[in-house]
């Protein structure tokens, strides 16, 4: 019969598919139909258990008889590759779509390359949905472990998963799971059928229900905890998540139940992070006056909240030389000026000896407030923590940007950290300049209050080193000023 005869005689063929995902079966039917010259609109395909609908209720259930001299149909590999995937789609139209394209390909062999054609496009879309489902199954299957006695009597772990695929992909994915978990006993249960692997052979089983699968696994608590921790609440992008992990998959993913609370808590968590975290120090102050005002109001670290007053640096705004100490002491705090207490007096003696004019230098501290502990009537000095120094670095750095000294002398480890942002050893760092990023140089020495705490031979030795450092700085200053 020719195509025309089929139409004239009003013959319809109902093609009942015995399986949902067997490409060979569809191909045999399609080849037969094609060789019998049956046009696509004369064929109704049915799924296992389905019907062809009213239109085809009187259809001929016998297979068409191919013309004896009909040539074997030929088709490109590209079509076959896509068709194999399309066939796994659960869309009832897939059989007829594939047959229609196959039919059209006989007249136009390269039709499959024309992505602007609606049929070719529909095939591509169906194939894509299947590939996605295949991929998502590999991603979202979650095994739960059960202790079980094997047939040989030995006890062992059996990994069981419940999954609900949207397309006929279970059998297709069997290879992936056997390759990945070759040495595990596992089962994947789905409403469309099940797979069982014992480490050697793969067995197919009947459809299952959720109740057949284990209800939980202690490792899921660890996994959920991991899921909640790896998520960064500062970058909430729910749309991006939903695109890749649509809600329809959530019910079988243990960690997905956390999503609503994670999203709800994210903004609060981010706010806390910001509050505890990077402080908004605002615009950098542009004058020393502005810094002075700002540090008096600063309570960004606990020192600022103690009973004390901020102490601003002092000296010419165009000083070539800047001296940085640790923090104001008791006297400095009371007088509101840097280096006026015992350590300051010792410093003055040494500066004079080295021939350095203190009044020409800008003198300041790495930390602006006096950190202390109250002991009766006395306020005992306490060292600032690295974090406190780092926080205050904003201010001393602003001072440095305004004064722009050519040489900075940091006295003590805290001052050095305030300049460099890292802790250095005074012993290793002293005696040689450290270049700063604005082209100026940093010299490091001990803090004079350290000298005050020593006595005897130790004091003598440290005073000698301190003198040497200041002498070296004085010599370098002379060089810089001459240049």
Site for other proteins in 87-146 (CB under 8 A): 110-111, 113-117, 121, 135, 138-145
Of the candidates 424, 358, 363, 362, the one whose C-alpha atom is nearest the C-alpha of residue 389 is 424
In this structure, are strands 155-162 and 43-46 parallel, antiparallel, or unpaired? unpaired
Q: Which is nearer to other proteins, 25 or 397 (CB)?
A: 397
Site for other proteins, residues 232 to 271, rule: CB under 8 A? 232-241, 244-245, 253, 255-256, 259, 262-263, 266, 270
Is 279 near other proteins (CB under 8 A)? yes
Tell me how far the alpha carbon of residue 333 is from its chain's centroid: 46
Site string for other proteins, 343-362 (x = CB under 8 A): --------------------
Is 457 near other proteins (CB under 8 A)? no
230, with CB counted inside 10 A (0-12, 13-18, 19+), is exposed
User: How far apart, in Å, are the Cα atoms of 160 and each of 184, 261, 355, 386?
Assistant: 11, 28, 84, 52
Among 48, 49, 216, 277, binds other proteins (CB under 8 A): 277
Site for other proteins, residues 421 to 450, rule: CB under 8 A? 421-423, 437
Within 13 Å, how many C-alpha atoms sit on residue 460's CB side?
2
Q: Which is nearer to other proteins, 45 or 395 (CB)?
A: 395
The residues, any chain, with a CB within 8 Å of residue 417's CB and separated by 6 or more, are: 366, 386, 389, 390, 423, 424
- For tokens 């000095």, what's the residue? 381
DSSP letter at 314 equals B
Among 54, 69, 151, 280, binds other proteins (CB under 8 A): 280
Q: Which is nearer to other proteins, 266 or 472 (CB)?
A: 266
DSSP letter at 140 equals H
How many chain residues bind other proteins (CB under 8 A)?
84
Is 179 near other proteins (CB under 8 A)? yes
Q: How far is the CB of 471 from other proteins (least distance, A)?
A: 28
The residues, any chain, with a CB within 8 Å of residue 425's CB and separated by 6 or more, are: 413
Is 274 near other proteins (CB under 8 A)? yes
Is 290 near other proteins (CB under 8 A)? no
Q: Which is nearer to other proteins, 255 or 469 (CB)?
A: 255
Q: Which is nearer to other proteins, 15 or 195 (CB)?
A: 195
């Amino acid at each position: 019969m020719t195509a025309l005869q089929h139409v004239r005689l009003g013959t319809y063929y109902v093609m009942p598919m015995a399986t949902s995902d067997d490409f060979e079966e569809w191909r045999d039917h399609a080849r037969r139909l094609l060789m019998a010259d049956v046009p696509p609109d004369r064929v109704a395909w049915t799924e296992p258990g389905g019907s062809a609908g009213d239109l085809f209720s009187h259809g001929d259930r016998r297979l068409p008889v191919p013309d004896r001299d009909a040539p074997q149909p030929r088709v490109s590999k590209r079509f076959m590759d896509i068709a194999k995937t399309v066939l796994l789609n659960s869309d009832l139209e897939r059989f007829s779509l594939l047959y229609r394209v196959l039919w059209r390909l006989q007249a136009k062999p390269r039709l499959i390359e024309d992505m602007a054609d609606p049929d070719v496009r529909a095939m591509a879309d169906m194939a894509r949905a299947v590939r996605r489902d295949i991929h998502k199954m590999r991603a979202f299957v979650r095994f739960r472990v059960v202790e079980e006695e094997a047939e040989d009597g030995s006890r062992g772990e059996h990994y069981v998963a419940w999954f609900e695929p949207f397309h006929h992909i279970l059998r297709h994915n069997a290879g992936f799971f056997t390759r990945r978990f070759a040495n595990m006993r596992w089962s994947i249960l789905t409403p469309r059928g099940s797979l069982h692997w014992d480490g050697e052979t793969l067995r197919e089983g009947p459809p299952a229900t959720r109740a057949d699968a284990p209800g939980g696994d202690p490792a899921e608590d660890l996994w959920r905890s991991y899921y909640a921790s790896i998520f960064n609440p500062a970058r909430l992008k729910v749309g991006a998540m939903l695109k890749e992990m649509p809600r329809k998959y959530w019910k079988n993913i243990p960690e997905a139940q956390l999503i609503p609370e994670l999203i709800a808590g994210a903004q609060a968590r981010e706010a806390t992070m910001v509050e505890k975290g990077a402080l908004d120090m605002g615009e950098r102050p542009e004058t020393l006056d502005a810094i002075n005002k700002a540090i008096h109001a600063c309570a960004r670290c606990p020192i600022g909240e103690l009973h004390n007053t901020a102490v601003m640096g002092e000296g010419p705004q165009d000083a070539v030389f800047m001296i940085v100490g640790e923090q104001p002491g008791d006297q400095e705090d009371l007088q509101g000026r840097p280096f006026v207490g015992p350590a300051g007096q010792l410093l003055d003696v040494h500066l004079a000896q080295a021939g350095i004019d203190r009044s020409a230098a800008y003198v300041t501290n790495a930390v602006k407030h006096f950190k202390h502990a109250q002991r009766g009537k006395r306020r005992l000095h306490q060292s600032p923590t690295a974090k406190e120094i780092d926080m205050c670095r904003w201010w001393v750095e602003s001072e440095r940007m305004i004064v722009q000294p050519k040489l900075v002398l940091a006295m003590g480890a805290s001052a050095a950290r305030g300049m460099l942002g890292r802790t250095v050893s005074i012993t290793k760092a002293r005696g040689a300049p450290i270049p700063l990023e604005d082209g100026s140089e940093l010299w490091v020495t001990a803090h004079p209050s350290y000298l005050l705490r020593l006595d005897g031979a130790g004091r003598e030795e440290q005073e000698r080193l301190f003198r040497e450092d200041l002498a070296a700085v004085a010599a370098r200053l002379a060089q810089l000023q001459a240049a």
